[in-house]
Structure 1
Amino acid sequence: MTMTRDDVDRFEAARPRLEAIAYRLLGSASEAEDAVQETFLRWQGADVERVEVPEAWLTKVLTNLCLNQLTSARARRETYVGQWLPEPLLAGDPMLGPADTAERRESVSYAVLVLLERLSPNERAVYVLREAFDYPHREIAEILDISEAASQQILHRAKKHVAAGKARTEIDEAAARRIVDEFLAAATSGRTEPLVRLLTQDAIAVGDGGGKVPARARAFEGALAVAKFMRGLFKPAKAKRDLIGGRAEIHATLANGEPALVAVVDGRVVGITCLEVTAEGITALRSQVNPDKLERATRLWAATDHGEPLMQAF
């Protein structure tokens, strides 16, 4: 079908929302971009004059593409080298989508994206469409070709699974910097005790190197084990500098709404560590060091003002 300028403009107006949905469904910015582009190709091939509600049509096509992707992704992740973690997005990234309610902010937090990996594709789709984008169950049912009652039941199960994860505390940018400052001071003190005091007793630390950067396949568990690991991580070593291409500048920021450490070498983001914070302390540190999952962060980093680094490391 030949598309008019209005047809293209209509899709482009929907693109930010579609990308935000796809990112929450897939946990990958690059895969989300691919899914949205495939949706555009489907839109190009459709008889758009017969599409009564373009937003609903586009959402249904995108969601079903993502469901197919999730099904195949589960098989691929069984052969993934090491621990698979979502792709983190830095503060200001438009793919984070709307953040005007607590539910929407929570739906894109790094901690919740990790929890969503435990859900079935349908559970994940219902949770994202309802909690993050406030779609009524009637529309969700039409998108997924299920009944309204089934949509409600699926949401109940999904929320139960997500609620089983630890509650998080909402953090603003100033508070995030304070938390990261305190964490860095403890991590570079050369002692484990200051770090242990910041962590919950059941804290974990896990990283995703994708087989391209060394990262422990299994999580460090417990405050003492995590503290010893982080203390060792911040010890200067030539091997670390050689691995990442030099000394890293460490910045404090927000990633997916959580306090984060960003390590940058010559303008290239080489690592993002998200800190999951609860009222009891830091309960998880999740580090993304797979270069394939840091390309978008590097592009955004180059385009924004991020101030002076807190320190140089490694």
Structure 2
Amino acid sequence: METDEFLADRFEQHRPHLKAVAYRMLGSLAEADDAVQEGWLRLSRSAPGGIDNLGGWLTTVVGRVCLDMLRARTARREDALEQRLPDPVVSREDAGDPEQQALAADSVGLALLVVLEALSPAERLAFVLHDMFAVPFDQIAVIVDRSPAAAKKLASRARLRVRGTVPPAEPDPHRQRRVVDAFLAAARGGDFAGLLAILDPDVVMRIDAGAVAGGGIRTVTGAEAVAGGVVGNAARDVQPVVVNGVIGLLGAVDGRPRSVLSFTVSDGRIAGIDILSDPDRVARLVGDAQERP
């Protein structure tokens, strides 16, 4: 019993890191939890005395589980209507939960996670593990069953596909907040010119309303089109939150969470808006966030 408790304690020390890896791999908090739990099950069935580097071993195991899940998902999602925004990580601006901080670290925004969805499972794994978590290619090679050189090429291909697709985000949260507040004020006030001033000319807005809108992601591009879609339509009941490490908004109707908005602020303007307005998903994700300290 003492050995089992000691092993469980050691696993819990690695859980925030494993959850962060799985979330970036899968874009789903529920699936990330499943992958981490599978990592624990495999550890509990192994001979831990022969594991020299538990963190590396667990990362390899969870990475392999995520790879299998991505491959299964790719086989299922042949229809574009199956596409959806990744789960946003919603937290209060003063959140202090270590797992939440690990998930939101490095401001891996929804926009980047959307781009990662376009990669092959092996490319995504190589890019996430190497570029985001500095896992060496010889370890990645074991997971994808290829040589280290081939694993390096996977990451390089992914890097080329990702490069330039997401504008560099404003790192200062106070500047982010000022821009988002200006956007909200202009949208509420019907200030079309004010919206155009705060939106990047090439802004991209993605909206996932879930089954209510027939499924799939609706994309609106260009400042005028985005401004026309939001002017006068901003919810009155909104509160500031942090979404994937950057400033966001939580909209509610009759006190119930209905939408999560994540903004990519770059060079003083909004270059991207990701809106999840699927009531069921929002209620679940926000409920999970509110339960955290």
TM-score (norm 1): 0.81
CA distance in 1: counterparts of 2:82 and 2:69, whole angstroms: 20
Cα 1:196–1:129, aligned 2, differ >3 Å: closer, same or farther?
Answer: same
CA distance in 2: counterparts of 1:228 and 1:113, whole angstroms: 26
- Matched residue, 2:42: 42
- Matched residue, 2:287: 298
Secondary structure, counterpart of 1:219 in structure 2: strand
- Matched residue, 1:165: 165
- Matched residue, 1:257: 245
What are structure 1's unaligned runs of at least 5 residues? Answer: 237-247, 305-314
Alpha-carbon contact 1:179-1:259 (below 8 Å) kept: no
CA distance in 2: counterparts of 1:82 and 1:209, whole angstroms: 12
Residues 43-79 of structure 1, C-alpha deviations (whole Å, 9 max, x = no match): 2222223333322221121111111111122244444
CA distance in 2: counterparts of 1:204 and 1:2, whole angstroms: 54
CA distance in 2: counterparts of 1:37 and 1:266, whole angstroms: 36
Moved more, 291-300 or 276-285: 291-300
Structure whose residues are more often helix by fraction: 2
- Matched residue, 1:97: 102
Cα 1:254–1:233, aligned 2, differ >3 Å: closer, same or farther?
Answer: same
CA distance in 2: counterparts of 1:17 and 1:298, whole angstroms: 22
Alpha-carbon contact 1:64-1:144 (below 8 Å) kept: yes
- Matched residue, 2:276: 288
**Identity %, equivalent residues:** 35
What are structure 2's unaligned runs of at least 5 residues? Answer: none
Alpha-carbon contact 1:3-1:44 (below 8 Å) kept: no
Residue 111 of structure 1: CA displacement? 1.7
The residue correspondences of 1:121-136 to structure 2 (distance < 5 A) are 121-136=121-136
- Matched residue, 1:178: 178
Secondary structure, counterpart of 2:170 in structure 1: coil
Alpha-carbon contact 2:84-2:217 (below 8 Å) kept: no
Cα 1:17–1:72, aligned 2, differ >3 Å: closer, same or farther?
Answer: same
Alpha-carbon contact 1:260-1:275 (below 8 Å) kept: yes
Alpha-carbon contact 1:206-1:216 (below 8 Å) kept: no
- Matched residue, 1:219: 219
Secondary structure, counterpart of 1:275 in structure 2: strand
Alpha-carbon contact 2:207-2:277 (below 8 Å) kept: yes
